[in-house]
Amino acid sequence: MEIKLIDRTGDPNGTLLIALSVCRHKQGTMAVLKNSIKAGHTSLLEHVSFTFYVEGISRRCLEQQGRHRIGVSPTVESQRAVDMSDFLSHTPEDIANDVCRFAVFHHAVEAARRGYKQLVDMGINREDAAYLLPEACYTTEVLTMNGRAIRHFYTLRADGAAQAEIQEMANRIRELVEPICPVIFHGFV
């Protein structure tokens, strides 16, 4: 998985302080902003956004990400426009670390790859042949999230109960955003 920050609100902290000042009718400070966020006034965070280039996430991870639609705007690689005959795929660690499990998984992925290619070679359009592709299939996206959506996404998806791949995604997003706008994660360890 590779995630790059490709665009953002120019001065997110300044933008948040302006929004806070409008809300309170007086000059805002970072301390007051942090207290407001901690108290649950996270709508302020909707005024800043971050855009990421995300490569090498599975369609399974993408499906989980898709549950976070408010304040999140994805543009995803099209399986209609792209030939997926040579797709790469994600293998979960508990499968990759066991020879027998990996053999079953690999066999199924290869069968899907062969079936997809055979259907396309028979004249079936890629969009319909893509029904055979596994959720393990890697994809690429451009993803824009506002600060509130990032905070919510991180809260749910960095949790130890989430799948490892989406935990990794949430943690990488935090690594990219926190140095620029730490208030988004205020109150988290």
- Residues with a catalytic annotation lie at 157
CB atoms within 10 A of CB 34: 14
Distances, alpha carbon 182 to alpha carbons 18, 33, 73, 140, 189, in Å:
16, 11, 22, 27, 12
CB atoms within 10 A of CB 179: 9
Report the amino acid identity of residue 45.
Answer: L
Count of alpha carbons within 13 Å of 31, Cβ hemisphere only? 0
CA nearest neighbour of 136 among 93, 97, 81, 78: 93
What H or E segment, with its residue span, contains residue 7?
Answer: strand 2-8
Q: How far is it, in rounded angstroms, from Cα 172 to Cα 150?
A: 11
Q: How far is it, in rounded angstroms, from Cα 96 to Cα 167?
A: 18
